[in-house]
Amino acid sequence: MAWTSDIHDGSVGKMIDVLDTLLVAVHATWVEYDSFGSNQKVYRCLDTANSPPIDFYIHVDDNYANYCKIYMYDSWDIGSHSYAVDTGCKVIFGSNIAYYPVICKKAGGYYFSSQDHRFIYVDKTEWEANYVGMLGQVPGSLLVQNPLLWVASSGYASGYNPLGYYSESSSFAVTEFMQLAWGRAHTRASAYGYNSAYGAFATIDGGSWLRPTLVFDYDNRIVQGYFKNVAQYYNRNNLVNDDVIVIGGDTWRYVEGTGGALSASIIKQE
Partner 1 sequence: MYIYMAVPIAAGGRISAIWDGKIVSNACWSVKDAAAGTNHKVYQCLDVLNNVNFCVSVNDNQDHYSLIQLWADWDNVGHVGVGDTLSGVPHPAATYPIKAYASGGTHLCYNDHRVMWGTSVYYQMNYIGELKRFDTTKDMPVLIASTGGSLYNPLGYSYNTDSQVCMACLWDQNGAVGQDLRMFAYNSGYKYHRTCNGSWFFWETTVHDDTSPYVAMGYLDGVCSMYNAANGFANGIAPQCGDARWLVLGGNYSTKFWAAMRLT
Contact in structure between 69 and 102 (CB atoms under 8 Å): yes
Residue 198 sits in the site that holds partner 1 (CB under 8 A) = yes
Residue 199 sits in the site that holds partner 1 (CB under 8 A) = yes
Stretch that binds partner 1, among 28-36, 52-60, 218-226, 251-259 (CB under 8 A): 218-226
Residue 221 sits in the site that holds partner 1 (CB under 8 A) = yes
Q: Smallest distance, Å, CB 211 to partner 1?
A: 7
- Residues 133 to 152 in contact with partner 1, rule: CB under 8 A: 138-142, 144, 146
**Which residue from 134, 207, 194 is spatially nearest to 164, judged by alpha carbons?**
194
Residue 222 sits in the site that holds partner 1 (CB under 8 A) = yes
- Residues 224 to 263 in contact with partner 1, rule: CB under 8 A: 224-225, 238
Q: Is the peptide bond before 52 cis (omega within 30 degrees of 0)?
A: yes
**Total residues belonging to the chain:** 270
CA distance 250 to 189: 28
Residue 223 sits in the site that holds partner 1 (CB under 8 A) = yes
**Which residue from 30, 38, 103, 44 is spatially nearest to 69, judged by alpha carbons?**
103
DSSP secondary structure letter of residue 152: B
> Between 214 and 230, whose beta carbon lies closer to partner 1?
214
Q: What is the 3-state secondary structure (H, E, C) of 249-260?
A: CEEEEEECCCCC
Stretch that binds partner 1, among 69-77, 82-90, 103-111, 214-222 (CB under 8 A): 214-222
Q: Is the peptide bond before 162 cis (omega within 30 degrees of 0)?
A: no
Q: Smallest distance, Å, CB 232 to partner 1?
A: 10
Quick note: the x/- pattern for partner 1 over 83-122, rule CB under 8 A, is: ----------------------------------------
CA distance 270 to 253: 10
Nearest 5°: CA angle at 264, between 262 and 268? 160
CA distance 81 to 234: 38
Among 211, 219, 244, 246, binds partner 1 (CB under 8 A): 211
- Applying CB under 8 A, the residues found at the interface with partner 1 are 138-142, 144, 146, 166, 180-182, 190, 192-205, 207, 209, 211, 214, 216-217, 221-225, 238
